[in-house]
Chains A and B, each alone.
Chain A
């Protein structure tokens, strides 16, 4: 049961074996080639010129120019990553690190834009009077109509405010339209 304590000789043997295995892949240093790198550099310069030209002289609809510029930039970035930074010749692990961080960036920008875009639309509708405050369930087609209704109701209540029949009247209404109780109540609260 004492495998847990190998002797010095056993350990030495294991280490020597491991060391000899490691020496095997020690000299795998990849020397950067000259011509491919020059080709990459020239491509990068050409792509820079292309970016400027497309942005200046081609007018795409919507965010077309932006997307085109980003596609070119991504292509350039990939070239730098793959060749100048040796990812193509390196261990896969380094590429995984970059991929993970790029993935995190995409998540970060994507979700933030998703939310803020929706809220920009929401704000726009609110300013246009298409929706009112008070929650999503109270989205109504015509805010002006509601405003008029409210004004009328307000006036109605104001007229009757001093009268004794006020409460009796409301109770009577509630009794007739049972289902509307909640809604009525909510609107009364708003005043």
Chain B
């Protein structure tokens, strides 16, 4: 109760923060927001479960084709590098939250900027080095897929099987949906950066930063599963 004497004008926004009127206190509000975020994340997990289920079923139905198609169409080096990029960005988000908890806005700023750069690197690699070449070679999902003889020669003997299109369908919709999540995440992180620059995050209030962080981690976790499934095995 020592800081009661200071007028609220001198305080930063996060120090002046009062919870919405239907909450009993700020702690309940933050806790409730976090629970809401976890519920939302569970819907994300189940949303991606659809892709994983389709993957599992078709891999079971066409096991041989699956492994070969994976090696033929996808480059594990790009996927692997992107995995590392996302892991790094997850770590920097953790540090950004630590910055808010320990009242070091500069730490939060720097780490958020690194995270956003990581998100952009991920997307640029994805678009420029994966989606674009595939688009050019007609390696498109399902019925739009077209075989090109020259790519068979390049493949060192591998003749694309008749169910490559299904593999590519799952690749496109799963990574596409994931990519959209990365893009949304980048926007959310930028929003957090803007709020942090205006001084809205501090030890007593960093709810939205924490929740955006949780969202970013789930995007990372989904990639942790997508990477080996699509690129490696």
* Additional 9 contacts, C-beta under 8 A, given A84-B93, A94-B34, A98-B38: A27-B27, A32-B101, A51-B227, A70-B229, A73-B228, A80-B224, A105-B45, A105-B52, A113-B57
Contact indicator B94/A37 (Cβ below 8 Å): yes
The interface residues of chain A, by DSSP majority, are classed as helix
Complex Cα distance, B204 from A29, in Å, reads 8
> Is A155 positioned at the interface, with any CB of B under 8 Å from its CB?
no
Complex Cα distance, B221 from A94, in Å, reads 16
Size class of the contact patch on chain A: 35 or more
Complex Cα distance, B24 from A94, in Å, reads 21
Contacts of A101 in B (CB 8 A): 41-43, 45-46
Given contacts A66-B233, A72-B228, contact A31 B83 (CB under 8 A): no
> Is B84 positioned at the interface, with any CB of A under 8 Å from its CB?
yes
- Shortest CB distance A83–B (Å): 8
Given contacts A48-B83, A108-B53, A109-B49, contact A97 B35 (CB under 8 A): yes
Contact indicator B25/A22 (Cβ below 8 Å): yes
Complex Cα distance, B85 from A44, in Å, reads 12
Complex Cα distance, B42 from A41, in Å, reads 23
Contacts of B57 in A (CB 8 A): 112-113, 116
> Is A69 positioned at the interface, with any CB of B under 8 Å from its CB?
yes
Q: How many A-B residue pairs have CB under 8 A?
A: 136
Contact indicator A69/B229 (Cβ below 8 Å): yes
The interface residues of chain B, by DSSP majority, are classed as helix
> Is B102 positioned at the interface, with any CB of A under 8 Å from its CB?
yes
Contact indicator B42/A100 (Cβ below 8 Å): yes
- Shortest CB distance B4–A (Å): 15
Contact indicator B83/A37 (Cβ below 8 Å): no
- Give the residues from 17 to 43 in chain B that come closer than 8 angstroms, CB to CB, to chain A: 24-27, 31, 34-35, 38-39, 41-43
Contacts of B181 in A (CB 8 A): none
Contacts of B88 in A (CB 8 A): 41
> Is B136 positioned at the interface, with any CB of A under 8 Å from its CB?
no
Contact indicator B38/A94 (Cβ below 8 Å): yes
> Is B120 positioned at the interface, with any CB of A under 8 Å from its CB?
no
- Shortest CB distance B101–A (Å): 5
Given contacts A77-B221, A100-B42, contact A44 B87 (CB under 8 A): yes
Identify B228's interface contact among A31, A55, A94, A109, CB under 8 A.
A55
Contact indicator B87/A91 (Cβ below 8 Å): no
> Is B72 positioned at the interface, with any CB of A under 8 Å from its CB?
no
Given contacts A69-B229, A101-B42, contact A29 B101 (CB under 8 A): yes
- Shortest CB distance B50–A (Å): 8
Complex Cα distance, B218 from A17, in Å, reads 40
> Is A102 positioned at the interface, with any CB of B under 8 Å from its CB?
yes
- Shortest CB distance B59–A (Å): 8
Contacts of B25 in A (CB 8 A): 22, 26
- Give the residues from 74 to 111 in chain B that come closer than 8 angstroms, CB to CB, to chain A: 76, 80, 83-84, 87-88, 90-91, 93-95, 97-98, 101-102
> Is B173 positioned at the interface, with any CB of A under 8 Å from its CB?
no
> Is A93 positioned at the interface, with any CB of B under 8 Å from its CB?
yes
List the 10 shortest-distance A-B pairs measured between CB atoms, nearest first.
A101-B42, A55-B232, A69-B228, A41-B91, A105-B49, A32-B98, A101-B45, A26-B27, A31-B101, A94-B38
B 210-233 binary contact with A (CB < 8 Å = 1; else 0)? 000110011011001101110011
A 27-48 binary contact with B (CB < 8 Å = 1; else 0)? 1110110100110010011001
Complex Cα distance, B224 from A179, in Å, reads 63
Identify A94's interface contact among B35, B43, B53, B232, CB under 8 A.
B35
> Is B152 positioned at the interface, with any CB of A under 8 Å from its CB?
no
Contact indicator B53/A112 (Cβ below 8 Å): yes
Identify A37's interface contact among B41, B95, B220, CB under 8 A.
B95
> Is A120 positioned at the interface, with any CB of B under 8 Å from its CB?
yes
